[in-house]
Amino acid sequence: MSASESNRRFFDSSAFILSFVGVLLAFAALGVAAAAYSRSDDAKAAVRKVAASGVVPSTTKVTLQEFSMTPHPSVVRAGKVRIEADNVGSATHELVLVRAASVAALPHVTVATSERAVGDVDEEAIASSDTVGETGDVEPRGHVTKTFDLQPGTYVMFCNIDDTSPDGTVTNHFQQGMSAMLVAV
């Protein structure tokens, strides 16, 4: 057998082995995806069961401060949901509530205006059917309670307030990380 025949056989068998390994990896990925999907369905069913039992509360307390927003708990029973917003920070905050799959799914300002900087949440671009409501301004050390009618699903809470420092620098609370998820089951 010549060197070129030997090299060809080696590369043919290597290509076969690599193809075989690729197929095995693809099947393994499908198996992992199927297991994750199954667990996801199991988890959703478990959450629905707990929600139906009345254990899931219809009130959440949300702590606002520079620059975070923390709901306690982050899962509530769908229907009339009472949100108690406590501002423990030293700046005024707000809590805007919209129906959205994630924080990343929120529309952002892409062209600066006199009202908003690039990267702020573009509240006007949120569909009215996804706009739930807001607390309005919550002063430092202040407390605001609002009740919203939530359908089952995921919601994003955020503070979209801009603060302007004496040197003219604008700080948007959302861009500093002031957002959180809320799930209604």
Beta strand residue intervals within the chain, DSSP E? 59-65, 68-72, 75-76, 79-87, 96-99, 131-134, 143-150, 153-158, 162-164, 170-172, 179-184
pLDDT digits (tens, 9 = 90+) for 135-166: 999 999 999 999 999 999 999 999 999 998 89
Residue 136's alpha-carbon distances to 77, 85, 146, 160, in angstroms, are 23, 10, 10, 11
Same domain for 45 and 81? no
Same domain for 124 and 178? yes
Domain end call among 37, 55, 73: 55
Same domain for 30 and 66? no
In the block, which residue shows the tokens 């979209």?
Answer: 160
What percentage of the chain carries pLDDT values higher than 70?
71
**Beta carbons within 10 angstroms of residue 5's beta carbon:** 9
Residues sharing a CB contact under 8 Å with residue 3, sequence separation 6 or more, in sequence order: none
Same domain for 97 and 19? no
Containing structural domain, residue 134: 59-184
Same domain for 106 and 154? yes
Same domain for 83 and 156? yes
Residues sharing a CB contact under 8 Å with residue 109, sequence separation 6 or more, in sequence order: 116, 117, 118, 119, 120, 121, 122
pLDDT digits (tens, 9 = 90+) for 48-96: 555 565 678 999 999 999 999 999 999 999 999 999 999 999 999 999 9
pLDDT at 26: 46
Backbone angles phi and psi of 42, in degrees to 5: -65, -40
Angle at 131 between CA 182 and CA 80, to 5 degrees: 55
Quote the number of domains for the chain: 2
Answering whether pTM is above 0.85, one says: no
Domain end call among 28, 55, 82: 55
